[in-house]
Amino acid sequence: MITTFDSLFAGHVDIEDIGYAGTPVNERRFSNEHLVTAFDKALAIAKVMDRCDYDTFWLAEHHFQREGYECIPNVPMLILHLAHLTRRLRFGCGFNITPMWHPIRLAEDFATIDYLTNGRAVFGVGRGYHTREVATFGAPLLDQAANRDLFEEQVEIIFKAFNEESFSHHGKHYDIPADVPYRGYQLEEITLVPRPVRLPVECWQPIQGGTTRALDFMAKHGIKGTIGGGVAEGGAMDSVVLGYRDALARTGRETEPGEDLNIGFHFYLADSEEKAIKEAAPFYEENTKLLGPLRLTRGLSEEQIRDISDPRRAPYAKDLPSIRQAAKAGSFLCGPPELVAEKLMGVAERYPGLARVTVSQPVGTPQKVILEQMEWFARAVMPAFKAGVSESASVD
C-alpha cells in the first residue's frame, strides 16, 4: 500500500524557450548569478513539501552544468542548509555519484550530516551518467565494467566504515589504511570519525538496467532501489520490480513485489487529461532533450537522438517520444487529481509491497509551476491514500 510521497529535484534553474523547437541543450549558457538560483528553488520546494506532509526531498549531484539543468554539486552540504530551514522534511542523497568521491570522504560527510540534521538525511549512491562529470574526476564511465568494478569496491568500503568500529580494506583500487608507521606503531586499521549515529544506514540506489549482478549487489548490502523519475520510461517496470524481489529472495528475504522500492513518476495536474498533456508537453520535451542523448530515455534510435538535438528537425520528426505516449505508458501522470490517484492506486494493486512513490516535475519546469503542482497534489491526491491507511488501521 502506498503510504509515503517523496519528490525529486535535479537542480534546474528556470529557463526559457523550452521544448523540441526550443534552444538546443548544448547551446544554453547561463551566468553564475542565474545558476545559483537553483539553491533558492530547492529551498522554495522544500518549504512547500515540509508544510504539505511529503516525506523525503531527493536532490541530485551533478557538476559543470553551465546549461542550467542539474546545478547541485554537493548534495550533503545543501541538505544541511535545507534541514536548518525546515521542520520535519527528510532529505535524500539522490544520488551521491560514488566514483567521483573518495569513499571515506563520502562516508564522513554523510555521518556528519546524520548527526547535525538529527537523522533527517537519507543516504544514496549512484554510478553516474555524464562522461563530462565522471571522467573529469578521474573515474571511468565509458568503460561500464570498470565503472561498476570501482563503484562496488567503494560501496564495500563505505559500509565497512559505517558499520565497523575499526576496519581495513585491501582491494583492487584502495588500500586502507596506508601501510605507514604512526605515532610509534604500524597502522593496520582506522575508524571513521564520526560514524553515523543511526545504524544501520538506510541506503538507496537507482535501478536502470536491472542486471542480476547489480540487483544481487544491492540485496547483499540491503540497498533499497529507486525506479523511474523520468529516467526509466515506462515507470513501474515489471522486470525490474520482480527482479529485485528475486534478488532479495536469494539472500533469504521473501517479500511482496515493490517492497523496499521507490517508483518515480512525473506528473501534471489540470482539469482534464488533455489540458494537462498540452500544458506539460514543453516540460516533457525539454527533459527528453537532456536525457535522450545520454541514453537514459529507453529505446531511442540514433536518428531520433539527432532529431531531438536539432530544433529545425524535431518539430517535424516522426515518432519522437511524446508526453501522450508517456501518459499512456503510465510514466507521466496527467489529468485531474482523481484520475492521477486512480492510476497510482492501480500501481499499488499491481505491486502490493510498494509503500513509497516519488512525484516530480520534469527538468525545465518553472519554479512557480512546481510549487503550484506540489501543493495541489498534496491537497487533492495524497488524502486518498491517507484515507486508505486510516481505514486499514481501523480494521486491524
Q: What is the pLDDT of residues 298-355, one digit of tens each?
A: 678 888 888 888 899 888 888 899 999 999 988 899 999 999 999 999 999 999 999 9
CA distance 88 to 31: 34
**What residues are paired with 7 via a beta bridge?**
57
What value does the CA radius of gyration of the chain take, rounded to a whole number of Å? 21
Give the pLDDT band (50/70/90) at residue 230. very low
CATH fourth-level superfamily of 4-94+207-395: Luciferase-like domain (3.20.20.30)
What tens digit of pLDDT does each residue of 84-119 get? 999 999 999 999 999 999 999 999 999 999 999 999
Compare 293 and 135 and report the one with higher pLDDT: 135
Q: What percent of the chain has pLDDT over 90?
A: 85
Q: Which residues contact 10 (CB under 8 A, 6 or more apart)?
A: 59, 60, 62, 69, 70, 72, 363
* pLDDT for res 198: 95
**pLDDT tens digits for range 241-279:** 999 999 999 999 999 999 999 999 999 999 999 999 999
pLDDT of 396 above 60: no
Q: How confident is the model at residue 176 (pLDDT cuts 50, 70, 90)?
A: very high
The pLDDT of residue 237:
77
pLDDT of 395: 46
Whether residue 180 has pLDDT greater than 90: yes
DSSP string, 58-114: EE------TTSS---S-HHHHHHHHHHT-SS-EEEETTEEGGGS-HHHHHHHHHHHH
Asked whether the predicted pLDDT for residue 46 surpasses 70, the reply is yes
Could you tell me which of 278, 49, 325 has the C-alpha nearest to residue 58? 49
Task: Report the pLDDT value the prediction gives residue 229, as an integer from 0 to 100.
Answer: 47
Nearest-angstrom CA–CA distance, 254 and 245? 8
For residue 172, give the nearest of 138, 149, 142, 147 by alpha carbon: 149
**Contact (CB, 8 A) for 13 and 71:** yes
pLDDT at 233 over 50: no
Give 153's pLDDT tier (boundaries 50, 70, 90).
Answer: very high
